[in-house]
Amino acid sequence: MILRRNISTSDVDVADVKDNANNANLWERLNDECRNTIRTQLLDVLRGCTEWPKNVIHKVCSLAVEIQGAMQSNEDQNIWQELINLVNEFIQTQQEKKVDAGLQIFNGLFSFIMDHLIKYKDDLARTFGATLQHQSLDIKLASLQAVSNLLSTAERKDTKAFTELIPFMTKVIIDSFNEQDEVVLEDALVEFNELAEIEPAFFKPYFNDIYQALKPVTAYTDFANANIRQQPLEFIVTLVERKPSLAQKNTELLKDILE
């Protein structure tokens, strides 16, 4: 945690009021040998992550992402290719913790090196197509969160390559509803609602299918968290407000919204 904060390009809670020189980003103060050693050791640590609790793995993943961010800021936009290779290796494995770690790192990297990663959008689409259909509901959610971050960060012209993922993204909601996993269900709906605000046109090709898929969630009255019922409706209303043409001539949808 301390190392991540000192390398982070955004955290500012480590200020040293006595020695301003210590406020410089730690990555800037390391020589090339130290940087290479940290990167090598961190990759080795990640390779052995399967024995750790998930929250610890996520912290190490965050550190790796912050190092890539520091490299972008302080090393003339260098790409940590070994990390990307490891992420791809993780996602191809059958070990759930490694797949999850790979998705967590991808999710973070989109905030720093989107311009680089989007060059491989077809590969990314295939990767997320597979992980969205993983047998684990938690992996499906992690994949949905990564895709959502990508779509929120990428330029609109680059999001079309991911349109075919919409049925798999929607199925995360359906599966979590059928399994009565309200935590995953709510998190998945949050991703849909946030995307509806940012990129409503993305959902247009599959709007009617999504609408039908979400109706059972809205109709269900036995959630422990009653707010879940409202989230699908909020998603639909947001899309219709942003893209009114979606509701034209759809009297069933308009009636549901009004009710």
240, 247 Cβ separation under 8 angstroms: yes
> Percent of the chain, pLDDT > 70?
87
238, 193 Cβ separation under 8 angstroms: yes
**What's the pLDDT tens digit per position in 38-54?**
999 999 999 998 888 99
Sorting pLDDT into bands at 50, 70 and 90, what band is 105? very high
**b/e map 111-133, b = 16+ CB within 10 Å:** ebbbeebbeebeebbebbbebbe
With vertex at residue 189, the alpha carbon angle to CA 182 and CA 200, rounded to the nearest 5 degrees, is 175
- 26-30, 196-200, 206-210: least confident range: 26-30
**What's the pLDDT tens digit per position in 162-171?**
999 999 999 9
Higher local confidence (pLDDT), 23 or 124: 124
**Backbone angle region of 250, left / alpha / beta, with phi > 0 → left and psi within -120 to 50 → alpha:** beta
Q: Give the Cα separation of 34 and 30 in Å (integer).
A: 6
**Backbone angle region of 248, left / alpha / beta, with phi > 0 → left and psi within -120 to 50 → alpha:** beta
Sorting pLDDT into bands at 50, 70 and 90, what band is 19? very low
User: Both tokens of residue 255?
Assistant: 């009636």
The DSSP-derived string for 201-223 is GGGGGGHHHHHHHHHHHHH----
Chain region(s) in the chain for CATH 1.25.10.10: 118-259
**Which residues, 6+ apart, have CB-to-CB distance to 18 below 8 Å?**
none
Residue 68 pLDDT more than 50? yes
* Structure confidence at residue 13 (pLDDT): 43
* Structure confidence at residue 82 (pLDDT): 95
What is the second-level CATH architecture of the domain 118-259?
Alpha Horseshoe (1.25)
Sorting pLDDT into bands at 50, 70 and 90, what band is 254? confident
**What's the pLDDT tens digit per position in 120-140?**
999 999 999 999 999 999 999
Q: Tokens 């999504």 belong to which residue?
A: 210
- 35-39, 203-207, 225-229, 242-246: least confident range: 242-246
The predicted model gives 251-258 an average pLDDT of: 71
As a whole number, the mean pLDDT across the chain is 88
Alpha helices in the chain (DSSP H): 2-7, 26-29, 32-47, 54-74, 81-92, 96-109, 114-117, 121-131, 137-153, 156-159, 166-178, 182-198, 207-219, 230-242, 251-258
Q: Give the Cα separation of 98 and 86 in Å (integer).
A: 10
Q: Give the Cα separation of 227 and 225 in Å (integer).
A: 5
